[in-house]
């Protein structure tokens, strides 16, 4: 049957040859899946900066859904979401400043970390 190539981003495999691999790696589905994967690891400051430059998506605000999903060029965040994200960024900046000053910062509990992770994953899946 020959060698097979498995793409971790797209969670699919296909016959591995130069033509098929090149076609897949340059495909829209692969590029979207790859972008979504790397977006999971962006810091809150970068997300906030990007979302503040976008205009709100009218379709998403009216119906709660957008045909473009995470590929929409408009923002799907509400004012409350932006405020929460801004507070998170400020909190991260304060903790970095405290660490640079040498103050002992409690690392937080595992429950806090799991809660933040669940929120990140749910927002990534909704987009």
pLDDT in tens, 92-118: 888 888 777 765 556 677 878 888 889
Q: 27 and 50 share a domain?
A: no
Residue 27 lies in a domain: yes
Residue 83 lies in a domain: yes
Q: 48 and 99 share a domain?
A: yes
Quick one: which of 31, 122, 36, 37 has its CA closest to 81? Answer: 122
Task: Note down the domain range covering 26.
Answer: 1-41
Residue 110 lies in a domain: no
Provide the number of structural domains found in the chain: 2
Q: 49 and 25 share a domain?
A: no
Neighbour tally for 6: CB within 10 Å: 10
Residue with tokens 């409690």: 106
Q: 48 and 97 share a domain?
A: yes
pLDDT in tens, 33-92: 898 888 888 888 888 998 999 999 999 989 989 898 877 899 988 889 899 999 999 988
Q: 66 and 93 share a domain?
A: yes
Q: 33 and 50 share a domain?
A: no
Residue 94 lies in a domain: yes
Q: 61 and 35 share a domain?
A: no
Residue with tokens 């969670």: 11
Q: Is 121 helix (H, G, I), strand (E, B) or coil?
A: helix
Q: Does this model's pTM top 0.85?
A: no
Q: 85 and 61 share a domain?
A: yes
């Amino acid at each position: 049957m020959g060698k097979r190539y498995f793409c971790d981003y797209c969670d699919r495999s296909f016959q591995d040859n130069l033509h098929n691999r090149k076609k897949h790696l340059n495909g829209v589905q692969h590029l979207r899946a790859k972008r979504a994967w790397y977006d999971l690891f962006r810091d809150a400051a970068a997300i906030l900066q990007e979302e503040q430059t976008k205009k709100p998506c009218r379709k998403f605000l009216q119906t709660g859904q957008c045909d473009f999903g995470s590929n929409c060029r408009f923002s799907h965040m509400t004012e409350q979401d932006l405020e929460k994200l801004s507070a998170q960024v400020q909190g991260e900046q304060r903790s970095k400043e405290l660490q640079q000053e040498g103050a002992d910062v409690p690392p937080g509990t595992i429950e806090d970390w799991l809660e933040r992770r669940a929120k990140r994953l749910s927002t990534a899946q909704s987009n």
